[in-house]
Structure 1
Amino acid sequence: MFANFNMGEGGQNNMFVPFMQGMMQSLLSKEVLYPSLKDLVERYPTWLAENKGKIEQAEYERFEKQQKLMEEVCAELEPEQESDPEDVKRKRFEVVLNLMQQMQDLGQPPKDLVGDIGAPPPGFAPPAAQDGGQCAIM
Structure 2
Amino acid sequence: MQQILSKEILHEPMKEIGERYPSWLEANKSKLSKEDRDRFSKQHQLILELCRVYDTTPGDFDKITELMQSMQGCGQPPAEIVAELAPGLQLGEDGLPQ
Spell out structure 1 runs of 4+ moving beyond 4 A.
none
* Greater relative contact order structure (CA < 8 Å, 6+ sep): 2
* Residue matched to 1:63: 40
Q: Structure 1 residue aligned with 2:76, among 108, 116, 122? A: 108
Deviations 1:87-107 (A, max 9, x none): xx2xx1010000100011111
Deviation at 1:117, TM superposition (A): 2.2
SS in 1 for 2:3: helix
* Residue matched to 2:9: 32
Q: Structure 1 residue aligned with 2:62, among 91, 94, 100? A: 94
* Residue matched to 1:18: none
SS in 1 for 2:61: helix
Identity of matched residues, %: 41
Deviation at 1:38, TM superposition (A): 0.1
Q: Which runs of 5+ in 2 are unaligned?
A: 84-89
In 2, the alpha carbon distance for the partners of 1:106 and 1:37 equals: 15
Deviation at 1:79, TM superposition (A): 3.0
RMSD, aligned CA = 1.3
- The alignment of Structure 1 onto Structure 2 pairs a total of residues equal to 88
Preserved contact between residue 30 and residue 80 of structure 1 (Cα < 8 Å): no
User: Which structure carries more helix by proportion?
Assistant: 2
* Residue matched to 1:123: none
- Normalized against structure 1, the TM-score is what? 0.60
Greater Rg over alpha carbons, structure:
1
2:21 partner letter: Y
